[in-house]
Structure 1
Amino acid sequence: MIKISYGLVVIIICFQYGCRSFTYSKGGRVETKYMTHYLNDSLQVGAVLYGDMPIAFGSSEKGTSMLKVSHFDREVLRKFHYGKSDKLLFSTIPRDDHNHVIGLIRSPENVRLSDYSTVREGKIFFLLKTIKYKNRDAYEGLVRLDQNRFLSMIHYLSSEDAVGYIETLNTIMLHSATRIKDGEMMAPVFNVLDDSGNFFEEHGYLAPFKLAETRNNYPSEQNLLDQLLATYYSFCGSVDLVKKSSEAAMFFKKEDLDARDLSPASEEILRQTRKKQVVMFNTSHHLPQHAYFVGSLLDSLYKQGFTHLALEAIGDPATVMKTGFVNLDDGFYTKDPVMSNFISKARAIGFKIIDYESESDDREQGQAQNLADQLFKTNRDCRLIVLAGYGHVEETTAPKKMAGHFKDLTGIDPFTIDQTKLMTSFCQNLGAGNKEDVFVYSGKKIQHSTDLLLWNNINMDNKPINFPFTSAIKDITIDVPDLSAERDSLATFLIYNQENFLLDSTVIPVFVKIIPAKKETYQIKLEKGKYLVQCLGEYKRLLYKRELVVN
């Protein structure tokens, strides 16, 4: 009997395999969005695979033994001259032994470039090598990471299945090569801004409910996520969810206001604006009641002689000025039906709508410059209403905001009105008979840097849709049938101006509400007119529609 010592076995194995390490490199993680993305922060390398490719890899905690994947992987690696200086990243967990991908970082010393051909698509290319081994076809794609490293992906499958499957490797190599060329190899796969927009395109006003389900995808962007959720929830009137998300994202102090410091706002504002040339209101983007209040003053302001309305929220106002209504392409915050109705109301009254947003490094100065350039260089005497976001209307000097820059540029001192500073405040001693819902705060406890500080306590559930004349408001009952047969738990309930919808199906609805997909009756306040009622499920599938005539 021949005896071979354990030490001799180790020597033989090391000689045969060159003491290669068959352990995955530490630091790997996976993000899946349409496709599977392998990212390794410590090695600064990333690769793209198909979305249905589960992979084994070394996590941040510890490496994972190569013994957990097939023996054939090691054979294929040896055929491609896998060396000691190469680093194993991942391998797919195969559903069979015939279709498999291995990812690694390769050193140039282990790669003979003359064995590879070039695969090119436009300006993107990778190197390709093909071998046959035990009734399998194996392909290796290479993309240079830097002078000392290649990203390698080896794809092997049975020869009888190989016809057409080379496209699999081509696709994932080109995706990976594109991210490397664009300097985005390590860019986060999940981008909460982009993803929220994609959800809106796919699901319409159900978007925040879909976005909330993916919260774990954005561990470092939770604050921004909550801000976006608050805004999207506000678009569909989900007041409780707006409050929950906004409180998580924003840290405005909750003030207990004294009723003795509060007086009705509308009358006081209109008294002071009679002789003003420029009036600047602000708004919180997730609180529709701010735009609603300004909208309730538009008729009176127009009668006082104001002719132009400047909006931070709108893109190009040319379409609105032509059609009289807002569509989905006109801006982000204009997707809010209340904001859209506000703009349509202003246009119908006779206001000329202008935009003034700036993308300059100094946004505050850029906004002020845009306002000055559009109006006061050509028409010094025009009178202007501005609806801005948050602190842009503050008349501070350090730092100087848009309102301050505007005064410097034009010599016109704008009349500034803040609705956001007290947006989380409350008043416990407001009289039971009070019928006001927006107040001027005149107390000394809360400091501010605008001409007026408002507490806007409007409850939108009690307000009619749009901005109708009181005599035109009708209480309407709408019966929605059971929609649960479509397997949707929630549906979007929308009301459109029918005439506008027939002209442009991307028009913003006059009303949106998220409802349970069951039989229900809803009471709403509408002005006279013809409307289209729709209920949409996931992916904007039409679940129900009807025409509605309010006489």
Structure 2
Amino acid sequence: MRAIYLICSFVFFVGCKPILNDNQKELCFSEKKENPHAFANTIFKESEYNYLKPLNCLLLNEDYYREIDAIDFYYQTLLTFSSFANDSLVYFDTYSKRFKSERKNNQYKFDTLKIIDGKIFIINKAKNERVIMFNEQHYRTNQRFFLKSLLQDFKELGYNYLALEAADNTNFRENYILNHEEGFYLNEPNFANLVAEALKLGFKIKSYESNISCVESKNCYNFRDSIQALNLNKILKDDKEAKIIVLAGGSHIYEKSSRNKNMAQYFRELTGINPFTVDQISLVDNCTNNNSFYYQANSNFDIKSPSVILTEDDSIYEYDNRVDLSLIYPLNNQQNWMFEDKSVVEIKLKKQYNRLVFQVFNRKNSQKIPVFNKVLYSTDSTLKLYLEQGEYFYVVKDENDKIFIKKNFKIHH
């Protein structure tokens, strides 16, 4: 990138901060600068959805958000936008800053426990359910990938709705081509791929987020979750044959709470249906996780893919009594499960690109959201892409949409 170079410090993670010239700095300012998410999202839209630009502008303003005591919100926003662009160096550096903790040394016994593949277990369990709820951390994109891998099996079991907290559009239809206005998180490639796959399989996509402003309620969290439950209940009222997969953020699927009542609790009260709830956010590798149970379980069972821990009588091990199932993910260096049933193509880069974004698009439709993103560093000379068979093209470009290379390619079995 012209006039941009990097200051990188190599400690445990690599921290990289772009240095921008005065003209580029002007492009980063926004009237909503006090709110880091609004600041970055405004830039994202004004740049016509360039994935690198809001990320660079956030990095430039870290000191500002520390000064106004908004650093945690800033880190959360930076995690989100680095996950959108798939900038692994910024992502892990930000994670280490936001979640500083020391790992506890509690010791656990696993001699009466065992594991089973999570996909096999969940699909078998879903045979006798009508509503199954998953949660996610909005910056953990592999959790969307896992849900996508279940869709074909869910469809064969008669599930016909995918309900999304994150979607804004309520009029998804067959052969619908996603654009950038369907919902903020649907701009992340794995989320867009999830929706595209669901539409291809014939699922009806429903948004259940509350679109009513909380004005008079004393507890806006409860208000929001109650409206979410009402919207999900409407799906059941409108279609007596509905079987629903729900994807929510964080605690909304918790069936017990100490203070705020959650969507899943309201839903059960409204419908009389006890949803099967799958937590994906507790037993994950986050590089600063103080959850010794997670690391000891991975070491003991050598977990290779999202799995379920069972007791010796084949009951689900109760890690968290707020949900029916706590899915355990493998360590970050054991992500090969994401490449199953995929074709691979190797892309060799003829030049070194430092902090440019590599994007893959499907040539057969006009979807504007990439199917794959990656921020390139000078060490990236060869990329392995694991994608569905089809016709694609890739581009390498900078934050001002200057294209350095564009090339068509095919993937076939």
TM-score normalised by length of structure 1: 0.59
Residue matched to 1:229: 78
Residue matched to 1:23: none
2:240 to 380, 387, 393: 380
Contact 2:175/2:199 (CA < 8 Å) preserved in 1?
A: no
Contact 2:137/2:281 (CA < 8 Å) preserved in 1?
A: yes
1:496 to 351, 361, 365: 361
Residue matched to 1:537: 398
User: 1:198 is matched by which residue type in structure 2?
Assistant: T
Name the CA distance, whole Å, in 1 between partners of 2:407 and 2:396. Answer: 9
User: 1:457 is matched by which residue type in structure 2?
Assistant: P
User: 1:331 is matched by which residue type in structure 2?
Assistant: G
SS in 2 for 1:330: coil
What RMSD, in angstroms, separates the aligned Cα atoms of the two structures? 3.1
Query: What do residues 92-112 of structure 1 show as CA deviations (whole Å, max 9, x unaligned)?
Result: xxxxxxxxxxxxxxxxxxxxx
Query: What do residues 122-144 of structure 1 show as CA deviations (whole Å, max 9, x unaligned)?
Result: xxxxxxxxxxxxxxxxxxxxxxx
Structure 1 residue 330: Cα displacement: 1.2
Contact 2:304/2:337 (CA < 8 Å) preserved in 1?
A: no
> Gapped runs of 5+ residues in structure 1?
1-32, 38-50, 52-186
Residue matched to 1:550: 411
Query: What do residues 344-391 of structure 1 show as CA deviations (whole Å, max 9, x unaligned)?
Result: 111111111100011443111010011112x12222331111011000
> Gapped runs of 5+ residues in structure 2?
1-24, 215-222, 312-316
Contact 2:110/2:300 (CA < 8 Å) preserved in 1?
A: no
Residue matched to 1:338: 190
**Which shows bigger deviation, 302-311 or 424-433?**
424-433
Map of 1:89-100 to 2, 5 A cutoff? none
SS in 1 for 2:281: coil
User: 1:335 is matched by which residue type in structure 2?
Assistant: N
SS in 2 for 1:403: helix
Contact 1:290/1:456 (CA < 8 Å) preserved in 2?
A: no
Distance 1:258 1:388, change over 3 A: farther
Query: What do residues 156-179 of structure 1 show as CA deviations (whole Å, max 9, x unaligned)?
Result: xxxxxxxxxxxxxxxxxxxxxxxx
Distance 1:253 1:394, change over 3 A: farther
Distance 1:542 1:323, change over 3 A: farther
2:115 to 247, 257, 263: 263
The aligned length equals 355
Structure 1 residue 263: Cα displacement: 1.6
Between structure 1 and structure 2, the one with the greater Rg is 1
Contact 2:279/2:323 (CA < 8 Å) preserved in 1?
A: yes
Structure 1 residue 395: Cα displacement: 0.5
Contact 2:51/2:399 (CA < 8 Å) preserved in 1?
A: no
Distance 1:278 1:251, change over 3 A: farther
Contact 2:320/2:326 (CA < 8 Å) preserved in 1?
A: no
Residue matched to 2:136: 283
1:303 to 127, 138, 156: 156
Name the CA distance, whole Å, in 2 between partners of 1:393 and 1:532. Answer: 38
Distance 1:481 1:258, change over 3 A: farther
Structure 1 residue 221: Cα displacement: 1.0
Name the CA distance, whole Å, in 2 between partners of 1:297 and 1:192. Answer: 34
Structure having the higher strand fraction is 1
Map of 1:163-178 to 2, 5 A cutoff? none
Name the CA distance, whole Å, in 1 between partners of 2:399 and 2:91. Answer: 21
Name the CA distance, whole Å, in 1 between partners of 2:329 and 2:44. Answer: 29
Map of 1:133-282 to 2, 5 A cutoff? 190-201=34-45, 202=47, 204-206=50-52, 207-218=54-65, 219=67, 220-249=69-98, 261=113, 263-264=115-116, 265-282=118-135
SS in 1 for 2:148: helix
Name the CA distance, whole Å, in 1 between partners of 2:176 and 2:81. Answer: 24
SS in 1 for 2:238: coil
Query: What do residues 486-545 of structure 1 show as CA deviations (whole Å, max 9, x unaligned)?
Result: xxx311000101122xx35xx211110000268822222233211011011121221110
Map of 1:478-489 to 2, 5 A cutoff? 478-482=347-351, 489=354
Structure 1 residue 463: Cα displacement: 5.4
Contact 1:497/1:532 (CA < 8 Å) preserved in 2?
A: yes
Name the CA distance, whole Å, in 2 between partners of 1:352 and 1:221. Answer: 39
Residue matched to 1:17: none
Residue matched to 2:336: 462
Structure 1 residue 251: Cα displacement: 7.8
1:391 to 251, 255, 274: 251
Name the CA distance, whole Å, in 2 between partners of 1:188 and 1:300. Answer: 44
Contact 1:358/1:366 (CA < 8 Å) preserved in 2?
A: yes
Distance 1:464 1:419, change over 3 A: closer
Map of 1:57-68 to 2, 5 A cutoff? none
